[in-house]
A and B are shown apart, each in its own frame.
Chain A
Amino acid sequence: MPNPSKAPNKATLQPKTLLVEGKDEENLLNELLKDLKIIDLQIIPVGGSGNFPEKLKGLKSRSEYRNITSIGIIRDADNNAKSAFDSICSALEGNGLSKPPAPMQSFGDKPKITIMIVENMIEDLCLQSVKDDPAMACVAQFFQCLTENLNKLPKNLAKARVHAFLASREFLEIAHFEYLKICLEDYILNPPTSPAIAVPKVHTFLASRYTPSLRLGEAAQKCGEEGERYWSFAHSAFDELKRFLQMI
């Protein structure tokens, strides 16, 4: 059922477009683009990896589509990099677009297509950039403790980790404890098929920051006590991502 309630976006379509899975990736990469001083690339979140075909179709329908010279697509490998890459290629082919032979290899013309498949998840990449932060040792211990003491692994440790960590913070509200209980009960009843450890680790790490309760992408903004980003773009963990953005 359509809910087309938006008025048309009057912003001009940039010649370079990057399709990402969601808002977190959009926020994170917008900050990285600022860091790289790339201004002619716009990011479009597709609302989930399954939506790439539909969003590509919609993109091609835009009135300024012919101004686009380059399209980049980035998605998580989710434990199977080849399958992730093939699914993107299938979406491209279904929309009459060029298929690069491999990730990180641009192909085609008007538009040029470049794909990046992030090993595991983009959260892993961000965590890698802060692996030397002292809080990460605590995060690791916390999850080790959870694993040892729960009969089944929670499906999505993200929320559990955030709230569990917040439980140790100074200004916690009672409601957080109640929410934590509900989350954990739910997680135990619904065992995971493939736990995405990185997501909850991200939230737990971010819970240790000066500005808490941030999401992945928000943490890339200059929101620290001294205006610092919580992900270290200078870290080599972001090198390949930076190279991909400059290829688009």
Chain B
Amino acid sequence: MYTSFTIENFRCFPKLKIEPLARINLIAGQNNIGKTAFLEAIFIFHAANPGSLTSIEYSRGFQKLRRDELFWDLFPQFNAKQTIRFSGTENNDEVKSLEIRLQEQPTESISLERETTNSLLKSSPDEISFTYGDTFGQMVMKAYAEDDDDGFRLIFDKSMPNRRVAFLLARKRVTVQMLATRLSTLRAEKRHREIIEILQIIEPRLIDLEVLSIEGNNMVFADIETMPKLIPILLLGEGTVRLLEIALVVTGLQGHILLIDEIENGFHHSIMSRVWEVIAQLARKYDVQVFATTHSWESIQAAHKVFFKKEPNDFLFHRLEKVDDAIQVVTLDQDALQTTLEEGWEIR
């Protein structure tokens, strides 16, 4: 579990350090302050996998990536000559780091007589180097971009092994196939009842969950007490699907990281406390560290209420704010959070 995390030269963060960190970290701040970018930084760092860069771009909604502007948006001021650096300290004081550099390769010399269209001259692949460091030393991973129908794809030969991080986006849901695969694994291990009990928080009539294959596609179906047939889980409310996502994903992240953007999405304020209880319980059970963002006052109140009662050291609230054009973090412990929430003081 990380106790601190530093970002340099990534998106809107020339430099940002967040410390201390808890098992559950809730991040707030105004629009466009960098909450999602913060989650992306942790995603890239913990994954330590060049493929994470394209994942991030697709998650932002870019459908076609341009190789002439390879990951330009990941750098402050779009200056791709900088080195992106992340470092994290774990609770055993071990420091891990990741440096990302983009190296342009020399362009091939091409005769202008061969140029018949307005398309860009194709050059040799640009190289991205990922240098991951820990107490065992450094591992350098190289990746390069190769053209394909979607713009380009990253080719790389290695990544750090056994790195698991899940990023639940604000607006996009995980694939139906992924939900089905995960539930099938739990069913095979006879561990699916835990998931059903969790979903019963939102849908008390839920009796069971099944994975069925419909026209070659595996989907999760719910057995609802009053319904004559099993129904696709996607027909239940957004909150149910989101809670299912969270529960299924955490069970596969033993000892790793879960990122949730806009955690309040899909949940009525009246059940936010129960949602936080579930997250707290699962995170402890599976030793998962959680970073979530929120705009919601109710979400902050509910989280504080849950953790203040049982495990105050398991939760920290962080606010990103701009001070003299630089983004800083203000971290509130449980006492400060208690005072501010009691007074109704704005802390987002």
Which residues of A are at the interface with B, using a C-beta cutoff of 8 A? 1-4, 6-10, 44, 54-55, 57-64, 66
Contacts and interface: CB of A to CB of B under 8 A. Distances in A.
Given A1-B308, A4-B305, A61 B337 contact: yes
A66 B338 contact: no
Pairs of residues from A and B, 10 with the lowest C-beta to C-beta distance, nearest first? A58-B339, A6-B344, A4-B341, A61-B336, A9-B344, A61-B332, A58-B340, A8-B346, A62-B345, A63-B346
Given A8-B297, A9-B345, A54-B335, 10 more contacts: A4-B341, A10-B346, A44-B343, A58-B343, A59-B345, A61-B336, A62-B347, A63-B319, A64-B346, A66-B321
B188 interface: no
Given A58-B339, A58-B340, A4 B345 contact: no
Contacts, number: 68
B343 A61 contact: no
Interface of B: 297, 301, 304-305, 308-309, 319, 321, 323, 330, 332, 335-348
Given A9-B344, A54-B335, A4 B301 contact: yes
Contact of B342 (A4, A59, A62): A4
Contacts of A2: 304-305, 308-309, 338, 341-342
B344 A58 contact: no
B340 A62 contact: yes
10 contacts: A1-B308, A6-B344, A8-B348, A10-B346, A55-B339, A57-B339, A58-B336, A61-B337, A61-B345, A61-B347
B190 to A, nearest CB: 38
Nearest to A53: B335
Contact of B309 (A1, A8, A66): A1
A9 B347 CA distance: 10
B272 to A, nearest CB: 12
A7 B335 contact: no
A63 B338 CA distance: 15
A117 B346 CA distance: 29
Describe A's contact surface by its main secondary structure.
loop
B293 to A, nearest CB: 15
Nearest to A9: B344
Contacts of A9: 343-346
Contact of A6 (B330, B338, B343): B343
Nearest to B29: A63
Among A9, A57, A61, A64, max chain B CB count under 10 A is at A61
A9 B344 CA distance: 5
A233 to B, nearest CB: 28
Nearest to B345: A62
A57 B343 contact: no
B339 A61 contact: yes
Contacts of B330: 61
B343 A7 contact: no
Among B304, B321, B323, B340, max chain A CB count under 10 A is at B340
B46 to A, nearest CB: 28
Nearest to A44: B343
Nearest to B331: A61
Contacts of B344: 6-9
A32 B339 CA distance: 27
A20 to B, nearest CB: 14
Contact of B340 (A3, A10, A61): A61
A218 B48 CA distance: 63
Contacts of B332: 61
A60 B51 CA distance: 41
A10 B347 CA distance: 11
A55 B339 CA distance: 7
Contacts of A8: 297, 344-348
Contacts of A54: 335, 339
Contact of A58 (B308, B309, B323, B345): B345
A36 to B, nearest CB: 25
Contacts of A58: 336, 338-340, 343, 345
Contacts of A62: 340, 345-347
A54 B335 CA distance: 7
Contacts of A60: 336
Nearest to B305: A2
Contacts of B337: 61
A87 to B, nearest CB: 18
Contacts of B340: 58, 61-62
Contacts of B305: 2, 4
A17 to B, nearest CB: 11
Given A54-B335, A57-B336, A4 B346 contact: no
Among B323, B332, B344, max chain A CB count under 10 A is at B344
B309 A63 contact: no
A111 to B, nearest CB: 14
A7 B321 CA distance: 21
A66 B345 CA distance: 14
A61 B319 CA distance: 9
A59 B339 CA distance: 8
Contacts of B297: 7-8
A35 B5 CA distance: 51
